[in-house]
A and B are shown apart, each in its own frame.
Chain A
Amino acid sequence: MMTAAAEPLWMRTLRSKARERFEGMHWPVTSEEEWRRTDVNRLGLDSYAPVSALTPACPRETEPGAAAAVIRFRANKCIEVGLAGQWQDAGVRLLPLDNALEEFEAPLHTLYEKALADADNRFLAWHYASLSHGALLWVPPGLEIKEPIFIDFEEDGTGTMSAPHVAVLLGAGSRASVVQRIAARKGAPGGMLCNAVVDIRLADAAGLQYWEQQELAPTDLYVRHVRAEVGRDSTLRHFDAEFGARWAKTRVDCSLDGPGAEAFLDGAYYCGAGQHMDLRTVQRHRSPKATSRAVYKGAVAGGGRTIFQGLIEVAPGASGTDAYLTNRNLILGEGARSDSIPTLKIGNNDVKCSHGSTTGRLNAEELFYLESRGLSDADAREMLVVGYFEDILTLAPVGFKAGALAAIKGRLRAAA
């Protein structure tokens, strides 16, 4: 940890606290409900060595082009950062995390202390102890940024654990849209563990769209926690596109903390042969009159294994809650396994809560129809699978949608 000395004291203290938490915890075991279907104890987690922490970044300045801002990482180094001049002048910040630790000490310190206090598994403690690289986005109150902000992680490593991190702080009434990609560097040998966290805090009446896509190497392991606090009249739209890694465990934990808060937690996943994906969403209604929706759609090929565990939790005082949760699984071949567990915990009666789940395969009649029009079996399948995913991507930025659909097509073709 060559840079530990360069970090401000508060961060060093926080890291050692996290280290203590880590030492005091054991790896999740299958008797814990969330980990019942995902056994981490065969992954040899102790053999992954954390990569060195927060190498001082001297990234190249770049022009964000059509985007509002862009930041790029290769392995655990920030290589490029760019922010459009008008946003720079307006006080927007998109910084490599190590450069943000002093300027944003107060909010980050609070955020991380709380995250650590809430940490309910060893991966989270490990992340904060070994946080290796990442970005901070700050949007001052009242600003509305229409163009997307790109955060790009090119992960690379073998036998190592990287802990990329993104902190998003939106001032009251501000708006932003982030497109984040975590992918293996082209030609990377694979075999790493990526333990990522996204911390989101929205002040009153803020609006954030956060579009995530994961395309790690087929030998990588992936753990990702999103922690979001959505304030009064704020809106979070989070989208999770999961494609890569041989083993992935993700969680989006969103707490609705003020009246009028809204959260839309959507996801698309494609799980191929030999992949194991365990995805979780939590819609935590802590305040009255908040709304949340979660829609996760997946496709599972033969030899793939998916688990979706969703939870709507309504606190006793959260009256006027309107919450919905749905999970759909498309099973593409024999030997696919798909578990769906959408749960509700409702602690008051003035609510409208529902959930739904469907699991099935491609409609044989639709396939037949397309094939009778001269499409090959592969083309017809591709068209139906793309159509299945398309509707949850309607609100995505054009580039994100195209990228996600391209990834799905690529996987289908590779499997064919």
Chain B
Amino acid sequence: MKGQSPVVEIAEYQHGYHFPDESVFKTKKGLNEEIVNAISHRKEEPEWMRQFRLRSLAAFRKKPMPNWGADLSDLDFENLYYYARPQEQQSRSWEDVPANIKETFERIGIPEAERKFLAGVGAQYDSEMVYHSIKEDLTKQGVIFTDPETAVREHPDLVKQYFGTVIPYLDNKFAALNSAVWSGGSFVYVPKGVKVEVPLQAYFRINAKSFGQFERTLIIADEGSFVHYIEGCTAPVYATESLHSAVVEIIALEGARVRYTTIQNWSNDVYNLVTKRAVAHKDAIVEWVDGNIGAKRTMKYPSIWLMGEGAHGEVLSIAFAGKGQEQDTGAKAVHAASHTSSIVTAKSISRGGGISSYRGLLKVNEGLHDVRSRVVCDALILDEKSRSNTYPYMEIDSDDVSIEHEARVSKISEDQLFYLMSRGMSEQEASLMIVSGFLDPLVKQLPMEYAVELNRLIELEMEGTVG
């Protein structure tokens, strides 16, 4: 890895740590009933969850691979581990977290101040939450922020009521896979009227060779509540492929507001095939902020089902496709009630032969009134080897609607470059400034520390793009 590409070197330097695999329990490669039962047994799950997993496994086998989207031909389901558990006990406080995991967090750069002040840090090492702390006042407010295994044990009624209702196990092949082998993730319940002032955060990290990670996140925002959940991930670099296939379900009950922010920076050998869907009931607001920078292949289309009058949905998505990467991302908004609105803003950058695709669905069911939607896609292609696709689907079955869609694909304008360079900037600096400006609407939506991290990542990705 000498010389040629500074981007790769820096990227590896930044995220390429790999600690010895210390998983305590690990299933064999491949997937069958035995492994699913072993996972369920290991987690000491009730029978209904074991049955759910087995039904999901059957669905996974039956469901076809998607015949669209990113190229998944190299993905071998039989050559993956489906479960590994790093430690016997879940750590209760920061002091109990093993030193090598702490070191990992150190290197990702979770600032010291953040650890102290953030409400809860659920950090995932391999498949399970290893560290989980919830600030006392949140607990007092009745907010539940835990891993889904604990939720199954301690809040079975809530889990039974909502688990798998937004994304049924039959939904698609990857959702079925996740439903069969899920492990770790987050479970959030915000009681009526409670506004969680600080974002809840979870860091995910993959750290075992050929290891699949199947988080299951369920967020329930009860009437009139508010929560901002942030999921960020950076992963060590491996030579063999890893599969990450999460399922995220959000339920925003009447008048609730949920914002879910992801900055995904998996290493460039990860398949990131994620199903994320939210339902917004009457007067509820759901916002997805979704940044995809890493991974070899991404297929991710955060969705919002607007089920009640007055519901509003928003998706802000960016994708950065570099060498060898295919970012097949987008958004879906399904209007199933009158007086609902949605906004989708998608921005993508392709460089170094990368492919970025926007794939979206905007659907308005029959017999609705006063439905508004606006979808805007902007794409920048930085060099002649790279590609950009846009596939927006609009299915409108009602008459009282106002639907707008626009998309643009272009390169960095030579006029803009010339102007900036005439002010004394190098081409590199000028390009970076233009790209930063292009992404600005997204970056502005992020909490400060994420904005800083994202800007740093973009800077890294942009190095070596000129000349």
Residues of A whose CB lies within 8 Å of any CB of B are: 31, 33, 302, 316, 319, 329, 331-361
Contact = CB atoms under 8 A, between A and B. Distances in A.
B435 to A, nearest CB: 13
B406 interface: yes
Contacts, number: 114
Contacts of B400: 361
A354 B376 CA distance: 11
B406 A341 contact: no
A344 B346 CA distance: 14
A335 B392 contact: no
Contact of B397 (A337, A343, A346): A337
Given A357-B394, A359-B396, A346 B405 contact: no
Given A346-B387, A357-B392, A331 B381 contact: no
Contacts of A355: 390, 405-407
B401 A319 contact: no
Q: Give the interface SS of chain B, mostly helix, strand, loop or mixed.
A: strand
Contacts of A347: 387
A341 B391 contact: yes
A394 B385 CA distance: 40
Contacts of B366: 335, 337
Contact of A358 (B387, B398, B405): B405
A342 B405 CA distance: 9
Contacts of A358: 402-405
Contacts of A349: 350, 381-384, 386, 411
Contact of B411 (A302, A338, A351, A361): A351
B390 A343 contact: yes
Contacts of A302: 399
Q: Return the 6 tightest CB-CB contacts between A and B, nearest first.
A: A349-B381, A359-B403, A344-B390, A331-B399, A357-B405, A349-B411
B67 interface: yes
Interface string B393-422: 111111111111111111100000000000
Contacts of A332: 399
Contacts of B393: 339, 341
Contact of B408 (A329, A339, A350, A353): A353
A352 B380 CA distance: 10
A354 B409 contact: yes
A296 to B, nearest CB: 13
B68 interface: yes
B392 A339 contact: no
Given A33-B68, A360-B403, A361-B401, A345 B394 contact: no
Nearest to B402: A360
Nearest to B356: A346
A350 B396 contact: no
B51 interface: no
Nearest to B403: A359
A319 B384 CA distance: 8
Contacts of B379: 346
A350 B387 CA distance: 11
B409 A348 contact: no
A179 B397 CA distance: 34
B392 to A, nearest CB: 7
A361 B368 CA distance: 13
A37 to B, nearest CB: 8
A336 B403 CA distance: 15
Contacts of A33: 68
Given A340-B394, A357-B403, 7 more contacts: A331-B399, A333-B399, A335-B366, A336-B399, A346-B409, A349-B383, A354-B409
A337 B405 CA distance: 17
B394 A344 contact: no
Nearest to A302: B399
Most chain A Cβ neighbours within 10 Å, of B381, B390, B397, B399: B399
Nearest to B391: A343
A342 to B, nearest CB: 7
B367 interface: yes
A351 B404 CA distance: 23
